[in-house]
Amino acid sequence: MRFSALKILTEGLTGNKGWTPHWRDPEPKAEYDAIVIGGGGHGLSTAYYLAKNHGLRNVAVLEKGYIGGGNVGRNTTIVRANYFLPGNSEFYSHSLKLWEGLEEDLNYNVMHSQRGLINLFHSDGQRDAFARRGNAMINQGDDAILLDRDGVREILPYLDFDNARFPIYGGLYHPRGGTARHDAVAWGYARGADQRGVDLIQNCEVTGIDIENGQVRGVQTTRGAIRAKKVGLVVAGRSSQVAALAGMRLPIESHVLQAFVTEGLKPVIDHVISFGMGHFYISQSDKGGLVFGGDIDFYASYAQRGNLPMAEHVMEAGMALMPMIGKARVLRSWGGIMDMSPDGSPVIDATHIDGLFLNCGWCYGGFKAVPASGWCMAHLMATGTPHEHAAGFRLDRFETGRGLMDEEGTGAQHNLH
Ligand SMILES: Cc1cc2nc3c(=O)[nH]c(=O)nc-3n(C[C@H](O)[C@H](O)[C@H](O)COP(=O)(O)OP(=O)(O)OC[C@H]3O[C@@H](n4cnc5c(N)ncnc54)[C@H](O)[C@@H]3O)c2cc1C
Q: Which long-range contacts (CB under 8 A, 24 or more apart) does 151-154 make?
A: 152/118, 152/120
Residues lining ligand 1, Cβ inside 6 A:
37-43, 62-65, 69-72, 74-78, 205-206, 234-238, 242, 257-259, 293, 336, 362, 364-368
Å from CA of 236 to ligand 1 middle: 5
Residues 6+ apart with CB under 8 A from 43: 36, 37, 61, 63, 232, 234, 235
Is it the case that residue 163 has pLDDT exceeding 90? no
Please state, for a pLDDT cut of 70, what percent of the chain lies above it.
Answer: 100
Å from CA of 237 to ligand 1 middle: 7
CA gap 217, 220 in Å, rounded: 10
Is it the case that residue 298 has pLDDT exceeding 90? no
Q: According to the model, what pLDDT value does residue 331 have?
A: 96
Mean pLDDT across the stretch 372-400? 97
- Per the DSSP assignment, residues forming a β-bridge with 55 are none
Report the 3 state secondary structure along 334-345: EEEEEEECCCCC
Q: Put residue 356 in one of left, alpha, beta given phi > 0 → left and psi -120 to 50 → alpha.
A: beta
Q: What is the dihedral of CA 387, 392, 395, 397, to 10 degrees?
A: 160
Task: List pLDDT tens digits, range 28-83.
Answer: 999 999 999 999 999 999 999 999 999 999 999 999 999 999 999 999 999 999 99
Q: According to the model, what pLDDT value does residue 201 have?
A: 98
What confidence category does residue 1 fall into, taking pLDDT thresholds of 50, 70 and 90?
A: confident
- Average pLDDT across the chain, whole number: 96
Its sign, for the CA torsion 65, 71, 75, 79, is negative
CA gap 18, 173 in Å, rounded: 44
Q: According to the model, what pLDDT value does residue 91 have?
A: 98
CA gap 138, 411 in Å, rounded: 26
Q: According to the model, what pLDDT value does residue 408 have?
A: 86
In this structure, the strands spanning 199-201 and 178-179 are unpaired
Q: According to the model, what pLDDT value does residue 210 have?
A: 98
Give the side-chain half-sphere CA count within 13 A for 28: 28
